């Protein structure tokens, strides 16, 4: 009887250890998106922007040209790499609380993204810049600072 109770107690402790020993990335993702009720459709502003742009969201955009072509009709086509950068205060964490993890990769469909479009674009709708950007599966890097 004493041996059975001891094994049951050890099994119980082992089960608790396994249950609380989640993958640090899973725990961080859960804390940022599920537990905090992250709303990807809400612009990440701490308070509403005012006329002096004090609370405005700063957005940096970089475009690297991979290839470029001009058709006989004068339509410019380009393959590019787009980089966007902003700070989302809702996605900040203390790396010490997550075993030193300073960045994670997240599918872009889980994050707020700015509305970007090409002015005077030749393609609208299927195959357009907006559609390709919205359907991108390239993982987004989120840093512990919210950047």
Q: Which residues pair with 105 in a beta bridge?
A: 141
pLDDT for res 56: 80
The answer for residues whose C-beta is within 8 angstroms of residue 7's C-beta and 6 or more apart is none
**To the nearest whole percent, how much of the chain has pLDDT over 70?**
75
**Closest to 135 in 3D by CA, of 106, 107, 114:** 107
Q: In degrees, to the nearest 5, what angle opens at C-alpha 40 toward C-alphas 46 and 142?
A: 80
| Dist CA 144 CA 86 (whole Å) | 13
- Residue pair 82/62 in contact (Cβ under 8 Å)? The answer is yes
Best CA proximity match to 142, nearest among 74, 87, 69, 96: 87
Span 88-117, pLDDT tens digits: 999 999 999 999 999 999 988 898 888 877
Select the more confidently predicted residue: 14 or 67: 67
Task: Output DSSP code: residue 116.
Answer: -
118: Cβ–Cβ under 8 A, 6 or more apart, which residues? 128, 129
Q: Quick one: tokens of 142? A: 């989120």
Q: What is the pTM of this model?
A: 0.70
- What the block records as the tokens of 106 is 């997240």
Smallest CA-to-CA distance from 78 within 123, 108, 124, 140 is with: 123
pLDDT digit string (tens) for 2-53? 555 555 554 554 555 444 557 899 999 999 998 878 898 888 888 877 777 7
How high is the pLDDT of residue 6? 59
């Amino acid at each position: 009887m004493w041996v059975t109770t001891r094994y049951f107690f050890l099994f119980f402790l082992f089960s608790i250890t396994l249950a609380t020993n989640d993958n640090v990335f899973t725990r961080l993702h859960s804390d940022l998106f599920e537990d905090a009720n992250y709303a990807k459709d809400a612009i990440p502003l701490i308070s509403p922007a005012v006329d002096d742009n004090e609370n405005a969201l700063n957005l940096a955009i970089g475009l690297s040209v991979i290839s470029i072509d001009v058709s006989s009709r004068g339509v410019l086509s380009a393959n590019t790499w787009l980089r966007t950068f902003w700070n989302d205060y809702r996605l900040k964490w203390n790396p010490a609380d997550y075993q030193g993890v300073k960045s994670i990769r997240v599918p872009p469909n889980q994050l707020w993204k700015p509305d970007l479009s090409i002015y005077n674009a030749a393609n609208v709708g299927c195959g357009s810049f907006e559609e390709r950007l919205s359907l991108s599966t390239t993982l987004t890097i989120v840093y512990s600072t919210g950047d």
